[in-house]
Structure 1
Amino acid sequence: MTCFRLVQEFLEKSADRIPEKVALVCGDERLTYAEIEDRANRIANGLRFNGIQRGDRVALFMQNSVELVIGIFAILKCDAVFVVINATTKTDKLVYILNNCGVSALVVSPHQKIPIEEMRASCPSIKFFVVIAKEGELLDQPTTEPTTACFSWEQFLKTYPPTRLPARNIDLDLACLIYTSGSTGEPKGVMSDHSNIIFAVNSITSYIGNTEDDVVINVLPLSFDYGLYQLLMVFSFGGRLVLEKGFSFPAQILNLIEKEKVTGFPGVPTIFSMLVNMDLDDYDLSSLRYMTNTAAALPPAHILKIRDTFPHVRLYSMYGLTETKRTLYLPPSYLDTKPDSVGIAIPGTEVWIEDERGNRLGAGEVGELVVRGRHVMRGYWGDEELTAQRFRPGRIPGERLCYTGDLFKMDEEGFFYFVARKDDVIKSRGEKVSPKEVENVLYKIEGVHEVAVIGVEDALLGQAIKAFIVKNNSSLTETDVLRFCRNHLEDFMIPKIVQFVDELPKTSSGKIKKTELR
């Protein structure tokens, strides 16, 4: 395994070793490692010349693109910290993030149509903008002399040399801030240092068994850590990344898998739900070697359908959170016997379950999952109070543990099972109900496409269980659903309310937003 000290070395060492290999396929563009290295060096020199210093935060606000990939590595090369902001972020939230971490420069696509003048006034820390446009096509240029410079991407590529800047950072320096979705409040910037990322990349690629021959397709935004790590992992082992803007047109993605001979397909439950309900006979997907799932646990019913549909593919069911990147994975050999488990600790880490008094719990007991390892991130940018709540001292002085806020249980063999978010547990009739347990049963009903279960206030029950269902069978009725539940759930777990909806609200990473359902 190649030894890495800093994250930009994922690109640099691959460019030195296999310069002419195609590293990135994005739309009509196919770039080699040498071409990406050349452009990243030019952009890095442009950033440095215009004042970006070690430790400065530089934000990238755009869709998945060649420029986004190059920008990430360019920022790292000038010892700065990259912040990828989802392209769908609204102006108020964008301004909040930029000010929260004191961004020094903003790289933006003209497709975002952001008001540059408003940004100048609202974000005083920004020294300059870099717009992915040709000279003379910059965004919203003022008629008066601007107080903040605005450069074009092409101008940087033409003006600055392709020489590699000497690195001054060490592995304890920050590499990036990844902002969480903020569904329960303002977005939080998770601080990831170089060693956090390198450890996670090495651990994940070791259990997946990645090689230089792997071709990985990524339809997830690079602002989402699951999507970002596909790029970082592929460049670390010298593979090829097929980068797409999303999964809105499944047939197009399936054709691309066939054309590019894709071997790795990372997805989330919403993507796999679409796949298992499609007719795949017209596509040659024989090149696929593995699939991975995280963001939310796959329902066991979907896992079994995927196994039946792709018998030649190794499916990795996984669990993680931005604060630790990846935490658990289920070895594919256990899918048949433990389809509802998200597995064991990733290589080189340790996990356990604690009660509210800090006691470790044994098999069958429900408590909070605690994570120990080099992948535990540094905390939340600028928020010591929240950092102290989530990242707590370990038994070794100076060590940080991550308290996930998720309830789990463990079986006798040490495999872990997600129960619920601590704040999602429904208390009905005096009993605690895991929404996930009810959802898993509902997914077994023929005609159910997607499900979300929440608790709603009820004068008699305390909380009543409400199920939102997206169906793909128009004949399915509430009576059918409740009959099935009565046969498969305890009385206190049967939904009181069943509501059929056309779709469920989701975050940009594909997670169902239960806060909006409430």
Structure 2
Amino acid sequence: LERIVADVGAAVVVCEAATREKVVAAVPDGAVVVAGDATPASGGEGGFAPMVAPDLAAVIYTSGSTGEPKGVTLTHGNMSFVADSIIESIDMEPSDRILCVLPLYFGYGLYQMLTCVRLGATLVLESGFGAGGRIVQLLEEREITGFAAVPTIYQLLLSLPGIGEHELPHLRCLTNAGAGLPTPVVRAVRSAFPDARLYLMYGQTECQRVCRLDPEEVDEHPDSVGTAIPGTEAWVEDEDGEVAAPGVVGELMVRGPHVMQGYWGNEAATDRKLRPGRWPWERVLATGDLFRADERGYLYFVGRRDDIIKSRGQKVAPREVEDVLHAFPGVRDAAVVGVPDDLLGEAVHAHVSAEPGVELEAKALKRHCAGSLESHMVPKRIVIHAELPRIGSGKIDRRTLAGWSPRG
């Protein structure tokens, strides 16, 4: 918090009353802290100047799960477009009642609120997602029609006894973003909530939402995130800067009114992320994520470019190893990271946690991997945890795992 407040030069910080002391200690002298229901002092007469689409609306910081958080600058035009495109792409209606258990500083959570405000739908807020039973209670009692979650939340719900026996006649839409939903979990969610349409989506803070898979295609393509959201373009670019052929892995590029203006106060990082576009005034987003596309144009996430492991002179995409681990009975979470190794260059290390009541053995997991993966992709070490570390948005904290040791 202290780094972000200093980076953006915040004049006012709004927080919950319970966190006031912590916030006051973090903000620089001169910044005003507004806690709880307090009202900030008036800034003078005249009110606010009218805003137009190119005006700055928000600086949203990246999660920091793989690197230092960066401030993503978004205009009113950026954010209005994304909200409208999401509404269209998942068929939201004014009568919807959306349950949000995600933090509102997380882009995925924030847009639950913005789409509801934009459409006039009802937003039901619940602080935190640690209690799966509480989520089910709200789904039933508040007649929720739409629910947004990350893989951690879906796995939490699936661990509840009899989750598929609840009658949820109003629930018609489920979405997943923030991290890819493993194929076994996709199938389990479809089984537990058969009457709800499941949207598999992908996005980045730098443009909020990139693509989504139509629910009718989920059973056939459970490992895909579909095609670009309405009004935008997304394609895979090969090493020569051309559109990659089907099946060829390359960097995902994104074009549209949702692409950020740049990183706050970080021109070098902006220049690496935004590339010249089709028109002289346009820039497209180089996501830094590796994808492939099939013959129909459906997109498949392979891994983050920065996460690719180079072991024995060959590249290993963590997602491929994680998918194999998730297919082992009883595995709840899996994260694969590269660790410096004098002989291999980088060693493949896997971190897993088990479903409640299940005991996993590292040797059995390694044999399972050896039966499904090429030898250079088989983890050199598999560590079993009670729980994998996470950041506030629910994503697995890969930076912590990369530096993990038996001594902590």
The question of a shared fold, defined as TM-score above 0.5 by the shorter chain, is answered with: yes
2:279 is aligned to 396
Q: Would the aligned equivalents of 1:99 and 1:125 in 2 still touch at CA under 8 Å?
A: no
How far off its partner does 1:447 sit? 0.8
Q: Would the aligned equivalents of 2:70 and 2:264 in 1 still touch at CA under 8 Å?
A: yes
For the structure 1 residues 98 and 125, does the alpha-carbon distance in structure 2 shift closer, same or farther, using more than 3 Å as the test? farther
Opposite residue 274 of structure 2, the aligned amino acid is: F
1:381 is aligned to 264
The 5 Å alignment of 1:196-345 reads 196-279=78-161, 280=163, 283-345=166-228
For the structure 1 residues 409 and 282, does the alpha-carbon distance in structure 2 shift closer, same or farther, using more than 3 Å as the test? closer
Count how many residue pairs are aligned between Structure 1 and Structure 2: 399
Opposite residue 28 of structure 2, the aligned amino acid is: C
Opposite residue 263 of structure 1, the aligned amino acid is: T
Distance 1:402 1:291 in 2: 27
Distance 2:76 2:231 in 1: 17
Distance 1:397 1:417 in 2: 30
SS, match of residue 307 in structure 2:
coil
For the structure 1 residues 433 and 171, does the alpha-carbon distance in structure 2 shift closer, same or farther, using more than 3 Å as the test? same
For the structure 1 residues 481 and 382, does the alpha-carbon distance in structure 2 shift closer, same or farther, using more than 3 Å as the test? same
1:78 is aligned to none
Is it true that 1:446 corresponds to 2:329 in the alignment? yes
SS, match of residue 466 in structure 1:
strand
For the structure 1 residues 328 and 498, does the alpha-carbon distance in structure 2 shift closer, same or farther, using more than 3 Å as the test? same
Distance 2:120 2:336 in 1: 42
Distance 2:14 2:313 in 1: 52
2:293 is aligned to 410
Q: Deviations over 1:199-255 (max 9, x none)?
A: 111111101111111100000000001000000001111110000111111111210
How far off its partner does 1:171 sit? 0.8
Is it true that 1:132 corresponds to 2:36 in the alignment? yes
1:485 is aligned to 369
2:398 is aligned to 514
For the structure 1 residues 286 and 462, does the alpha-carbon distance in structure 2 shift closer, same or farther, using more than 3 Å as the test? same
2:54 is aligned to 172
How far off its partner does 1:118 sit? 4.5
Opposite residue 372 of structure 2, the aligned amino acid is: H
Identity of aligned residues (%): 44
1:71 is aligned to none
| Selected match of 2:248 from 354, 360, 365 | 365
Distance 1:116 1:199 in 2: 32
Opposite residue 110 of structure 1, the aligned amino acid is: A
2:72 is aligned to 190
SS, match of residue 21 in structure 2:
coil
How far off its partner does 1:308 sit? 1.1
Q: Deviations over 1:399-455 (max 9, x none)?
A: 111110101111111111111110111122222111101111111111111111112
1:99 is aligned to 6
1:419 is aligned to 302
For the structure 1 residues 308 and 168, does the alpha-carbon distance in structure 2 shift closer, same or farther, using more than 3 Å as the test? same
SS, match of residue 212 in structure 2:
strand
Opposite residue 198 of structure 2, the aligned amino acid is: L
Is it true that 1:112 corresponds to 2:19 in the alignment? yes
Aligned-pair Cα RMSD in Å: 2.1
The answer for unaligned runs of 5 or more in structure 2 is: 403-408
Q: TM-score, normalised by structure 1?
A: 0.73
Q: TM-score, normalised by structure 2?
A: 0.92
Q: Deviations over 1:320-340 (max 9, x none)?
A: 000011001111111111111
Indicate the structure (1 or 2) with the bigger Cα radius of gyration.
Answer: 1
SS, match of residue 307 in structure 1:
helix
Q: Would the aligned equivalents of 2:199 and 2:213 in 1 still touch at CA under 8 Å?
A: yes
The answer for unaligned runs of 5 or more in structure 1 is: 1-93, 134-151
For the structure 1 residues 132 and 485, does the alpha-carbon distance in structure 2 shift closer, same or farther, using more than 3 Å as the test? same
SS, match of residue 423 in structure 1:
helix
Q: Deviations over 1:246-298 (max 9, x none)?
A: 11111112101100100001000111111222222564322210100001110
Distance 2:22 2:321 in 1: 45
Distance 1:123 1:475 in 2: 49
SS, match of residue 303 in structure 1:
helix
How far off its partner does 1:474 sit? 3.5
Q: Would the aligned equivalents of 2:66 and 2:397 in 1 still touch at CA under 8 Å?
A: no
Distance 1:129 1:483 in 2: 55
Q: Deviations over 1:83-106 (max 9, x none)?
A: xxxxxxxxxxx2222221221222
For the structure 1 residues 487 and 196, does the alpha-carbon distance in structure 2 shift closer, same or farther, using more than 3 Å as the test? same
Which consecutive segments of 4 or more residues in structure 1 shift more than 4 A?
A: 115-119, 164-167
Moved more, 320-329 or 175-184: 175-184
How far off its partner does 1:185 sit? 4.6
Moved more, 386-395 or 281-290: 281-290
The 5 Å alignment of 1:66-77 reads none
How far off its partner does 1:499 sit? 1.0
Opposite residue 262 of structure 1, the aligned amino acid is: I
How far off its partner does 1:478 sit? 2.0
Distance 1:447 1:379 in 2: 42
